[in-house]
Amino acid sequence: MGSEMIGALGLALLLVLMVLRVPVALTMLVVGVVGFAQVISWGAAIAQLKTVPVEVLSNYSFSAVPMFILMGVLAAHSGMAGKLFHATRVICGGWKGGLAIAAVGSCGVFSAISGSSLATASTMTRVALPEMERYGYNRGLATGALAAGGTLGIMIPPSIALLIYAILTEQSVGDMFMAGLVPGLMGLVMYALTVSVMMRLRPALAVAGEPTPWTAKLLSMGGLAPFFGVFLVMILGIYFGAFTPTEGASVGAFATLLYALAKGMRWRGLWQSVQETLALSAVVFFMLVGAETLGYFISVSRISFSISDFLYGVDLAPILVVLCILALYFVLGMFMDSIAMLVITVPVVFPIIQSLGIDPVWFGIVTVLTVELGLMTPPVGMNVFVIKAMAPHVGLGEIFRGVAPFVVSDLLRLALLIAFPVLTTLFLL
């Protein structure tokens, strides 16, 4: 049996195991080891199993992952999220659907230091959903806005998804962060506009909040200051070369820690934050070890090169190839977690992208945006299930219906990024 056939069977087995609900990280590890053994030898596969975890865990670039996670956890436990929502709520006071817009805005700002969509969605749901329900907001609109706003964490830098894509493809982490800035802000603005359009079409979904004077709006900006302070220190430091993205993650985590301690966080809260960070980091690193092992198998099986040769044979235009890959991501996003999707598929599709001469930074942004869509679409929209866990009294169908207009908004944003690639390269050095 040829190596390409073994590679194809390995990928098929990967999908079967995931359908059977085997943990994704374990699935990648098992398929990678067994597939590598079939192509090379069992001795080589066992030797690889010894070295890959050490390579991943000692990779300096990956040390940014727990730092970004720690930033988000500290922000959640220190009360920063509650002050953030209060500030955005005052700013949007008097607007029709203002609380929903405030929730989206809070998600966008919170994601600027959390780097995680799931962390953003769960934290802001605890803070914002009770307020929206208290003011009689339609539950579909309220939960839909939070599910959509949570996805901003995967695009607005610093983003764990962009970091992992950069490392897997050997791109500059700083370039990926800068490229994600405009698309992330576009998402924030377009989600707010989506809420406004829904209010015009269906005014009964929400009521106008109590108007707030301009002086109160200006004073409430203080609740945004800690987030913008940490965000600007990291982004400007990376942009002007004061430190690397990895160092920037440590700077941001340290700044957030200082703020949390200054606001009264005690040792118990700090210990809980560290424990939560370690648990989430362990999950991510287990996935990375599995992905690295699977990547070696894909490389020796040459399955990605066979797919590339096939695409050359059918003579498709590069943009059509990209659209086919994005369509695949959209379908996979209905069943898989975003990080798992990236670590499984990028080693397969990236050689194809390179062979076609497509800008890898632009491709990374549109890929991550497509993956972001999967966080909201049925049957397995991870953000939707996170919000369902936070609000068990709201039905899944109700949340999915509420998030549908935001999916349309994301499809429009994706079309704009494909039509105008300059939107992703605007701030690149």
pLDDT of residue 208: 66
CA distance 226 to 249: 16
pLDDT of residue 411: 92
Q: Which residues of the chain have pLDDT under 70?
A: 1, 115-116, 208-209, 303-315, 334-337, 379-381, 429
DSSP letter (8 states) at residue 92: T
Query: What is the crossing angle of helices 160-169 and 173-201, to 10°?
Result: 140
With tokens 């991501």, the residue in question is: 329
Q: Model pTM?
A: 0.79
Q: How many Cβ atoms are within 10 Å of 5's Cβ, its own excluded?
A: 12
pLDDT of residue 408: 92
pLDDT of residue 304: 61
pLDDT of residue 409: 93
Bridge partners of residue 208, in order along the sequence: 96
Question: Considering Cα of 308, then 311, then 317, then 321, what sign does the dihedral take?
Answer: negative
pLDDT of residue 310: 67
Helices marked H in 171-317 — which ranges? Answer: 173-201, 214-220, 225-239, 245-262, 267-301, 303-314
Each residue's pLDDT tens digit, 245-300: 778 878 888 888 888 888 778 888 888 888 888 887 887 788 778 877 877 787 77
pLDDT of residue 73: 81
